[in-house]
Structure 1
Amino acid sequence: MITLELLTMDDRERLFCFEKENKYFFESMVPPRPETYNTKDTFNKVIEQLIDEQNRKKSYFYLIMNNQDDLVGRLNITDINNECGNIGYRIGENYCGQGLASKALKQFLLTTPDLPLKCLKAKTTNHNISSQRVLEKNQFYIVKEDDQAFLFNKHYVHFIHFQWDRG
């Protein structure tokens, strides 16, 4: 079982450790975080900014926790505009392959009907099959595939764009 917890200032240390421990793993699938994520002082300022966005209902940042109260991942809704937002998620390397991203996304969709979101958009690369499956399992559908490929970790990849609509 997992739970989603809205990000608070109390989560800074735990989240900093999570990001640092999984930095190279995440960078094997997605572009690197900004340098501000690499030192505690600047990371804390980033978290303050994220919580400010959250308080203004422009974004929502969740920690994915397991039964042992371990931080296993993150789920973020950003750039909320006209009742639509962008969703992203990441699961720590030690917790992959357990279906946690699918469960977290499903839980988010089922437990947040009060959020003013009628649609969610997501994008992933064509080589990130597990992320595509997470989206498809949760009724996201492909809206387009980019024609332009780009070099990422010595491979040419392109983005696939997904969308989910509240029924």
Structure 2
Amino acid sequence: MLSLHPVSDRDLEDLRRFELDNRAFFESRINARPAAFYEAGGIEASIAAAQREAAADTGHQFLLRDPAGRLVGRINLIQVKRQHYHSCELGYRIAQAENGKGYATTAVKLMLDIAFRELGLLRVEAKANAGNAGSIKVLERNGFSQFGRSTRSFELNGQWLDMLHFECHAPNHGASPSPRTA
């Protein structure tokens, strides 16, 4: 069974290996991380930032592990907005060798449960490159609906791409937010 865990200092070496092993793969699909991320102290700084964001409830980063405990993906909620919105944006990345195994679909399902049940959010947004059929399927399988398209809005390796915008609402959307979110 796949599981999600908040990123922590204990994950440093696994996270370093995951990011370095998959760097070229990720950069072929999404914008590259700053070079400093891969330099000495960069991943440590990233973990510390994730912990600060979680404590401030502005973002929540999780690692996806397979049943053997291997790090196979990352998933996060960013731009958490509480008052008036109770929303955030979802992002994820799965290791190249683990693509096509349903891990992204499971990770999104698990993350939506955290977003809606534990964090009391009511709406999760996500974006996908219009040409990324796999990511679009992952979102649709998890109940996301497309609500827009932005044309030539994302530059990747010198090419301008369209982005599709998706949303998913909590099952109890319309009810009062939980006490944590008020």
**1:88 aligns to what?**
91
Of residues 132, 146, 158, the one that matches 2:162 is: 158
**1:25 aligns to what?**
25
Of residues 105, 108, 111, the one that matches 2:111 is: 108
Q: Deviations over 1:123-142 (max 9, x none)?
A: 11111110111000001111
Contact map agreement 2:152 2:160 (CA 8 A) in 1: no
Gaps of 5+ in 2: 172-182
Cα distance in structure 2, aligned partners of 1:85 and 1:36:
26
**2:131 aligns to what?**
127
- Structure 1-normalised TM-score? 0.93
Q: Give the Å deviation of 1:143.
A: 1.1
How many aligned positions are there? 167
1:31-46 correspondence runs (5 A): 31-46=31-46
**2:64 aligns to what?**
64
Q: Is 2:101 the partner of 1:98?
A: yes
Aligned-residue sequence identity (percent) comes to 28
Q: Give the Å deviation of 1:60.
A: 0.7
Cα distance in structure 2, aligned partners of 1:156 and 1:114:
37
**1:117 aligns to what?**
121
**2:147 aligns to what?**
143
Contact map agreement 1:16 1:40 (CA 8 A) in 2: no
Q: Which moved more, 1:109-118 or 1:128-137?
A: 109-118
One-letter amino acid matched to 1:92: A
**2:7 aligns to what?**
7
Cα distance in structure 2, aligned partners of 1:111 and 1:53:
16
One-letter amino acid matched to 1:39: E
Cα-Cα RMSD: 1.5
Q: Give the Å deviation of 1:17.
A: 1.2
- Structure 2-normalised TM-score? 0.86
Distance of aligned partners of 1:48 and 1:141 in 2 relative to their CA distance in 1, 3 Å threshold: same
Q: Which moved more, 1:70-79 or 1:150-159?
A: 150-159
SS of the counterpart of 2:112?
A: helix
Cα distance in structure 2, aligned partners of 1:12 and 1:67:
19
Contact map agreement 1:36 1:46 (CA 8 A) in 2: no
SS of the counterpart of 2:118?
A: coil
